[in-house]
Chains A and B, each alone.
Chain A
Amino acid sequence: MERIPILRIGDLLLVTIQVDMHDRLAMTLQDDLTERIVRDEAKGVLIDISALDLVDSFIGRMISNTASMARVLDAQTVLVGMQPAVAITLVELGLTLTGVKTALNVERGMALLGKDFQHGARSDQAR
């Protein structure tokens, strides 16, 4: 069965969705990702959807849910590389993904997470 690979980079997990998402694949991804966050004690998750150019309401909700789940497991989640067409579709569907961080590309996403970590470390020291 095909799976979406989850790559580990230091404290981060990188998920790149490069195939057409279908419903079962999305479900499997949720299982795998939550599993890996717990096992690897990941502090941040980058979900790269730059290759995704078609979404329906189900996939939109899955993306939103996956990001929220990662957040519940105390991993900062950034959704990166959303295409204009996908963004418009999600807004029209009423899925504005409130609370999920977004970035234009993986590089920016990593910078965003890095900044958060530094910020977190500093506040830890302060404590």
Chain B
Amino acid sequence: MTMNASPASIGNLIVNHQDAILEAWLGDLRKLMVRSTSAADDQLKRHCSQFLALFAQATAKGGAEDGDGRAYDEVRGLLAEISSARAKQGSTPSETATFIFSLKQPLFSVMRDALSADAGMLAGALWTVSTLLDKLGLYTMEVFQKSRDQIIVRQQQELLELSTPVVKLWQDILALPLIGTLDSARTQVVMESLLQKIVETGAAIAIIDITGVPTVDTLVAQHLMKTIAAARLMGADCIISGIRPQIAQTIVHLGVNLEDVVTKATLADAFVVALGRVGASIKRI
């Protein structure tokens, strides 16, 4: 048994049969691809050949047992690049995992042809390569997951910035149409942008419209009260508008105290009150 020699020989085997393996591997992958464009196909081909070349190099150099070792740095670098590219394109996890795992079949068939004389050695080599590819597959999935997480975090931040506009309705009157659930992080952003806008415009009154807030629980109410208290400290009054019937019921059932705050059913009503406060009025002509 020459088990120790097998990693290097696997590397040589791949180098010798590189074209055949690449062809079979690409064939398998193409079969699995749902919609293929020529650009995607080119990319796939490039990824496959790059990976195969680096993989052969690494196995020849560093042995096949240790997928975490130095020798596989370049392979892992390429895999990270491939899987993050796939994450951005919106590939599914299984598509990404298949990229590595589908290499097994063509690789194994080449190994079977070459090592058919020695069954024991063939079994050992198959096991080594299989473990190695599994390890690399897991690594790919880890990177894939990480890239997806990064995308989600970025989108959350963008959503946060998009969803808190403060608009000037009239001289001295601001409106803050809230859309979506209010959590602590969002309240902080809402509060900051409202207070900043109060300083910029010198507004005396702000209307907080909660038509787009799906549910109001004690926490959301508390966040609202905090925002109103902060605005009041700066010398601006707040009106809450857009309270839907169900929400009015919930607020009372929960025992939330909104008595110190002016509340109106619609933004229009709140606007009329605000106009009255700044000494203006609307008249039909």
- A residues at B contact (CB < 8 Å): 79-84, 86-88, 90-92, 96-97, 102-105, 108-109
Contact = CB atoms under 8 A, between A and B. Distances in A.
Nearest to A90: B233
Contacts of A84: 192, 195-196, 198-199, 230, 234
Contacts of B198: 84, 104
B204 A87 contact: no
14 contacts: A80-B235, A82-B235, A84-B196, A84-B198, A87-B231, A87-B233, A88-B230, A96-B229, A96-B233, A102-B234, A104-B198, A104-B203, A105-B235, A109-B235
B171 to A, nearest CB: 13
Contact of B235 (A86, A88, A104): A104
Interface of B: 191-192, 195-196, 198-199, 202-204, 226, 229-236
Q: For B199, B231, B233, which residue has the most chain A Cβ atoms within 10 angstroms?
A: B233
Contacts of A79: 233, 235
A68 to B, nearest CB: 15
Contacts of B233: 79, 82, 86-87, 90-91, 96-97, 102
A104 B195 contact: no
Nearest to B193: A84
Contacts of A97: 233
Contacts of B234: 82-84, 87, 102, 104
A74 to B, nearest CB: 22
A104 B196 CA distance: 12
> A-B pairs with the 3 shortest C-beta distances?
A84-B195, A103-B235, A104-B235
Contacts of B199: 83-84, 104
B190 to A, nearest CB: 11
A82 B232 CA distance: 10
B202 A105 contact: yes
A117 B243 CA distance: 36
Given A79-B233, A108-B204, A108-B235, 16 more contacts: A79-B235, A80-B235, A82-B234, A82-B235, A84-B192, A84-B234, A87-B231, A87-B233, A90-B233, A91-B226, A91-B229, A96-B229, A96-B232, A102-B234, A104-B235, A104-B236
Contacts of B236: 104
A53 to B, nearest CB: 12
A92 B226 CA distance: 8
Q: For A102, A104, A109, which residue has the most chain B Cβ atoms within 10 angstroms?
A: A104
Contacts of A88: 191-192, 195, 230
A96 B226 CA distance: 9
Nearest to A80: B235
A97 B96 CA distance: 58
Contacts of B232: 96, 102
A87 B202 contact: no
Contacts of B196: 84
Contacts of A80: 235
A21 B88 CA distance: 52
A84 B229 CA distance: 11
A110 B235 CA distance: 12
A86 B231 CA distance: 11
Q: For B196, B203, B230, B231, which residue has the most chain A Cβ atoms within 10 angstroms?
A: B230
Contacts of A92: 226
Contacts of A90: 230, 233
